[in-house]
Structure 1
Amino acid sequence: MEINGLEFRPAGYAYLLDKLGLAADMPHWHTSFVSSSGAHRSIVKNGAIEDMYPVRYWPGEKVGDHLEFALKYDGVNLGLLARIFDNVSREDLTEYIKSKPTGKYARRIWFFYEFLMGKQLPVDDITSGNYVDALESKEYYAVQNGDKSPRYRIVNNLLGPKTFCPVVRLTEKLSKLDSSDLRKRCEDIVTAYPPELLRRALSYLYNKETKSSFEIEHIKPSASRTEKFITSLELAEKEDFCEKERLIELQNRIVDPRFKDNDYRENQNYVGQTVAYQKAIIHFICPKPDDLPGLMEGLIDSHKRMKAGNVSPVIHAAAIAYGFVFLHPFEDGNGRIHRILIHNILSLQEMVPSGLMFPVSAVILKNPADYDASLESFSRPLLQLIDYRLDEIGQMTVENDTAIWYRYMDMTAQAEALYEFIIKTMEEELVEELSFLANYDNTKKAIQDIIDMPDRLIDLFIQLCLQNNGSLSARKRSAHFDFLTDEELAAMEQAVKDGYNRLD
């Protein structure tokens, strides 16, 4: 291409995709060009970076050199690598690796090829030299006890197996968020309140999370479904749900009994809305049913790998919970399970102090645009890559191979979003609930000092006053508190206003 008279040639992934005729693919966060002259400069477009490098950066015309350039400057994208490896000459790759037998980028390319393709190149094992990580720890989240692959002298510190292996970049935003000890911040919040209040707060938080999770999907559950969801949240603090049988049990507990599944779905699912007769707007297309068992097995193995590999709890929760909802393994309940998995993993990784839970769904409900953006950063570009048809009753058939795009997701955007939700949950929702209960206790004691009446009536009085900006309406007084004198009523209303000083 040409800009202001300067010629720019694609390099790295962009060069290889163009050379191999692989135009249609998931967008990558970084694209490289080399200019005919001029200095290095960067352009940010819709969150993606385009880097223009001086001519001295040009790697040449060989596939191996552009793969090395890609790993150096564009970063690791397992989906793009798999697509490129599937279309490139094995001879060209072998020649490149043999020309740089100890080079760290050549070894990584060699490792990634055999990891992703499941085939060996005709290259002899390396017998000496230092080990290098498959992912640079200063640029990516990775497992901390990766297994050594002596063939390439590479430490496999990837977040998952080849059947499901997400990548999360250590962006500036995530680096800042991760540097603050979230558990310590949470403990500092809760230690300001007495243990008895915290025990009571837990019941409120379970109810709030349950109500919010259903409300996100515009569902009004029955009392029994609400109780079953609360039970699932309680179990999420103690048990690991990320096993096939446990996920099916969980789905059975939280959906309408008529829509229980006894295995992963066997139909082609999609998320959309009907706008006219036989016309629908498609928002998200799920993996093919035939691809689902392998993807879900990979997701579960990835969870186990991150759990054992001391991966940051929020990164772990984002990769598995968002991965689950993108795979959409059940006919119903996927979104609610996705949010329960967030709680499950944060508890298993001991980020949440024992006996407490984060009402993350309440924050999501208050920030729907941010939540939708975290889903659409994957779902929207994916739509452009899937060939599908709908029949007259809305049954979908996907006509091209799509598994690779679900298998190797870059989940950086989802991790950033979840971090934001968790911080807001801790510093806003959690503090709000605990403060409300503490104020409630103080107000209740102040009212008891004015008049000794049953707890039920004190609770009702506070509730009615809070609904009316600190005052009891004449109608409510007549219906419930006609025994109060004017002096008692005025003093009790003042107690409510003092207890909740946000009221006028």
Structure 2
Amino acid sequence: MLPLPMRVTSVLGHVVPNGARPLGYAALAAAYGLDAPAPDRLFAAGERHTLRTEGRWSVLTPRYQPPADTLVSHLGFALRHEAIDLGLLAALFRRPEARRAITAWVRRQPTGRHPRRAWFLYEWLTGEQLDLPPAPRVTAADVLDPAHQFAISGEVVPRYRVRNNLPGTPAFCPLVRLSPDLVTMRASDLAEEARAVVRRTAPDLMARAAAFLLLLDSKASYVIEGERPPQDRIQRWGQALGEAGRTVLDTDELLRLQRLVIGRDTRFLRLGWRSLGGFIGARDRDSNAPLPDHVSARPEDLAVLIDGLLAFAARSEAGVLDPIVSAACLAFGFVFIHPFEDGNGRIHRWLLHHVLARRGFNPPGISFPVSAVFLARIEAYRAVLEHFSRPRLALTEWETTPDFNVRVLNETRDLFRFFDATRQAEFLASSVVETVRTILPREVEYLRRYDLSKVRIQNFLEMPDSRFDLMIGFLRQNGGRFSRRARTNEFAALTDVEVLAIEGIYADLLLDHG
């Protein structure tokens, strides 16, 4: 029987609804005091035959309450009704009771779908083999239920007669639930919508739009980090974004990208993988001690985590994991690990470009300006990052080092190799929707109107292209009117009639489209 107290009041930091008893992962976490972030959705059995939701809790009817509170009964509930949570399972499987219970379960039900899934997950997560013979030849069961979570095509593992459709390896394997928003995204075929925009746009116009969007994204990626680099660095990073997806991702590429991001001045940081602790946050004004919002992965875990991240990139691509899901897992996983002293944020966003381009999601030559969308939605972006960091910070023991850094005192690798990336995938999906349906068509329309305004103005005024671009820039900054400074300096040669005509054309074509 589970060592559950008579009345469980809180599970993983979340108060249990009145009159309800935890089910599945929640019951296991309460019984064994598992240290892991809480799933976004927790389950409990209520006293009435009605369903209700309270915060993270889904309160089910009494019929879901198992006859006996055992490890197997609640693990079976989790495997049937909940998304696979590798972090909680890893914590559970460290308990000696789990080894004995799963072994007995498989022996009792050797052909059962859920016992075989539990057996596979135990050995996959722990690296330990249970004293069990190979499974009988029955229909292979999916490790991940495709009705609950995004999965790859996978391969059948004969020992268990299960299909390993996990997108990663034990070194790194974030998972994403089929939330309503992501189901809608998958059904909408955003990639085809983007290709349709390209097909109905003149090639030269689309090339100019693509160049602008690339530069816009490069600049935004630096602005998010609070930097204002010179234009040449912005252009070089834009070129790197444009080249994303052309090669297989490896450690040399990640190291090259960091050198490109940082530039020539490396006097105050060490290039390459971190050898010390890392954190994101503020410092105490008086003592200079760290006040972290996020504590990065331990330096001694970086090699395994990065190898796992690269294996995830290869396995999810070969297994045709949804491109947006794959990009979110890889890119956000990288920034959560934070393997470098500096440059992590920009490389994190480069990885989004890399996956989408490599999977052919965005049209050839077009880079979705996800950084620009993230910048425009900066508070929502921060909330998505904090959704990961806040519960993990509570599980991280750390101390301040003599040089005012952080040193992690407990084992935290599971916090970074296993996580639910649903919130991150939803945010990326909504950002791609905004790019495809708003930003890309808007930029194409702006350039069309820009060209038309140029033709109309050139009917009565000859002007070099560089001077015309400068003039449009002044008008954009001043609400469609020439400022006094522009009239008396750069455009003093214009007559009053010409000024009125130009302002009228700008108002007709560009005023609401800049």
**Common fold by TM > 0.5:** yes
| Pair 1:202–1:6, CA change in 2 (3 A) | closer
| Structure 2 residue 19 is the aligned partner of structure 1 residue 12 | no
| Structure 2 residue 106 is the aligned partner of structure 1 residue 92 | no
Query: Matches of 1:342 and 1:252 in 2, distance apart?
Result: 19
Return the match for 1:247 from 249, 254, 257: 254
Measure how far apart 1:137 and its partner are. Answer: 1.1
Return the match for 2:277 from 250, 268, 272: 268
SS of equivalent residue, structure 2 residue 273 = coil
Hey, what does 1:140 align to over in structure 2? 149
Query: Matches of 1:487 and 1:187 in 2, distance apart?
Result: 43
Q: Which moved more, 1:228-237 or 1:212-221?
A: 228-237
Deviations 1:42-67, CA, capped at 9 Å, x for gaps: 3241xx23323315532513221221
Hey, what does 2:453 align to over in structure 1? 443
Measure how far apart 1:503 and its partner are. Answer: 8.0
Hey, what does 2:512 align to over in structure 1? 502
Measure how far apart 1:188 and its partner are. Answer: 2.1
Deviations 1:305-355, CA, capped at 9 Å, x for gaps: 011111111001000000000111111100000001111111001011001
- 1:18 maps to amino acid: A
| Pair 1:449–1:264, CA change in 2 (3 A) | same
Hey, what does 1:105 align to over in structure 2? 114
Measure how far apart 1:30 and its partner are. Answer: 2.4
Hey, what does 1:229 align to over in structure 2? 237
Contact 1:251–1:261, Cα closer than 8 Å, also in 2: no
Gaps in structure 1 of 5+ consecutive residues: none
Measure how far apart 1:97 and its partner are. Answer: 1.4
Contact 1:470–1:503, Cα closer than 8 Å, also in 2: no
Hey, what does 2:324 align to over in structure 1? 314
How does 1:376-455 map onto structure 2 within 5 Å? 376-455=386-465
Contact 2:44–2:57, Cα closer than 8 Å, also in 1: no
How does 1:268-417 map onto structure 2 within 5 Å? 268-278=277-287, 279-417=289-427
How many residues are paired up?
A: 498
Contact 2:446–2:513, Cα closer than 8 Å, also in 1: no
Deviations 1:73-104, CA, capped at 9 Å, x for gaps: 23210111111011132222211111111111
Query: Matches of 1:503 and 1:205 in 2, distance apart?
Result: 15
- 1:161 maps to amino acid: T
Hey, what does 1:27 align to over in structure 2? 38
Contact 2:221–2:372, Cα closer than 8 Å, also in 1: yes
Measure how far apart 1:189 and its partner are. Answer: 2.2
Q: Which moved more, 1:449-458 or 1:366-375?
A: 449-458
SS of equivalent residue, structure 2 residue 283 = strand
SS of equivalent residue, structure 1 residue 277 = coil
Gaps in structure 2 of 5+ consecutive residues: 1-6, 10-15
| Pair 1:2–1:80, CA change in 2 (3 A) | closer
SS of equivalent residue, structure 1 residue 92 = helix
| Pair 1:451–1:377, CA change in 2 (3 A) | same
| Pair 1:56–1:386, CA change in 2 (3 A) | closer
Deviations 1:7-45, CA, capped at 9 Å, x for gaps: 4332222222222232x321112222234x321423241
- 2:503 maps to amino acid: E
Measure how far apart 1:253 and its partner are. Answer: 0.9
- 2:382 maps to amino acid: D
SS of equivalent residue, structure 1 residue 426 = helix
| Pair 1:397–1:460, CA change in 2 (3 A) | closer
Contact 1:59–1:66, Cα closer than 8 Å, also in 2: no
Query: Matches of 2:276 and 2:399 in 1, distance apart?
Result: 14
Query: Matches of 1:263 and 1:391 in 2, distance apart?
Result: 21
Query: Matches of 1:477 and 1:302 in 2, distance apart?
Result: 59
Query: Matches of 1:282 and 1:484 in 2, distance apart?
Result: 57
- 1:247 maps to amino acid: L
SS of equivalent residue, structure 2 residue 111 = coil
Return the match for 2:217 from 203, 209, 228: 209
Measure how far apart 1:2 and its partner are. Answer: 8.2
Q: CA RMSD in A?
A: 2.1
| Structure 2 residue 190 is the aligned partner of structure 1 residue 182 | yes
- 1:257 maps to amino acid: R
| Pair 1:5–1:71, CA change in 2 (3 A) | closer
How does 1:465-480 map onto structure 2 within 5 Å? 465-480=475-490
Query: Matches of 2:271 and 2:468 in 1, distance apart?
Result: 48
Contact 1:213–1:339, Cα closer than 8 Å, also in 2: yes
Contact 1:97–1:107, Cα closer than 8 Å, also in 2: yes
Query: Matches of 1:379 and 1:501 in 2, distance apart?
Result: 42
SS of equivalent residue, structure 1 residue 480 = coil
- 1:245 maps to amino acid: D
| Pair 1:5–1:199, CA change in 2 (3 A) | closer
| Structure 2 residue 126 is the aligned partner of structure 1 residue 114 | no
Contact 1:450–1:491, Cα closer than 8 Å, also in 2: no
Hey, what does 1:74 align to over in structure 2? 82
TM-score (norm 2): 0.92
Return the match for 1:150 from 143, 158, 164: 158
Identity of aligned residues (%): 34
